[in-house]
Amino acid sequence: NAGVMQNPRHLVRRRGQEARLRCSPMKGHSHVYWYRQLPEEGLKFMVYLQKENIIDESGMPKERFSAEFPKEGPSILRIQQVVRGDSAAYFCASSPPGDTQYFGPGTRLTVL
Amino acid sequence: AQSVAQPEDQVNVAEGNPLTVKCTYSVSGNPYLFWYVQYPNRGLQFLLKYITGDNLVKGSYGFEAEFNKSQTSFHLKKPSALVSDSALYFCAVSPQGRALTFGSGTRLQVQP
C-alpha cells in the first residue's frame, strides 16, 4: 500500500511565476490536508479538502493561494505570483474520515 | 481555538537512558492528541495518538505517551533511547479528527 505521494519533491520558481504542488492520498483515503512548514518552525494548517469540496480553508492566505481535490486525480495546491516569503516546505496529509493523518514527503519550494 | 506548547527546543539524552519530550495543550472539548517524528528532509511519521481510553498510549518504535487531563499534558516517553531516535518531534492536537495544530517541535539528540 503506497503512502501519500507528493510531487515534485523540489520546485524552484522565480518571483511572479506560478507553483503547482500535487498530492496523491493513500489508497482508500478521501480526506486531504495541506500544511506549510517554514524553516525551523512547526507545521501550520492551510486547507482541508474532501473530494470536490473544500471543508476548511481557514489557514489559507486570502490571495494567490488556492487548492482543489477533484473527483479524479491528485489534490493540487496552487500558488500564483510567488514571492520569496512563499519559500517553504509544503506537506500533504491524507486520512479516512476523522482518523489519523499520514503525511507525504513534502515539496520544498524555493522562490528566487 | 486550540494550541500546543512544547517548552523545550532541544532535549539531550545519553543512549540507553530514558527520555521524555514534553507537551501541553489547550483545547475545548475532548482532545485528539498526536505525536509525530520528522527526520531531516523527510515528511512526518506518525508515532501514536490518544483519543479516549487508557491514559498510557503505546506507539511505534517503543515510544509511549501519557495523557494527563488535569495537567493538560501529553508527554512522550521511551524507556531506553537509541541514537537513531535523534530527530525532530512534534506534538499535535485536533478537535475530533479535523486540522492538526502543531507545537513548535523539540529536537531530540541522543548521544552514543
Q: How far is it, in rounded angstroms, from Cα B30 to Cα B1?
A: 13
CB pairs under 8 A between A and B: 55
Q: What is the pLDDT of residues B80-92, one digit of tens each?
A: 999 999 999 999 9
Closest Cβ opposite residue B96 in set A98, A102, A103: A98
- Beta-carbon separation of A35 and B90 below 8 A: no
B102 CB neighbours in chain A (<8 A) are 35, 42-44
B15: burial class by Cβ within 10 Å (0-12, 13-18, 19+)?
A: middle
Weakest mean pLDDT among A5-9, A94-98, B23-27: A94-98
Q: What is the pLDDT of residues B56-82, one digit of tens each?
A: 999 999 999 999 999 999 999 999 999
List Cβ neighbours of A30 (8 Å cut-off, separation of 6 or more). Answer: A50, A51, A96, A97
Q: How far is it, in rounded angstroms, from Cα B57 to Cα B67?
A: 8
Q: How far is it, in rounded angstroms, from Cα B37 to Cα A33?
A: 18
Which grid cell sits at B70? 488535569
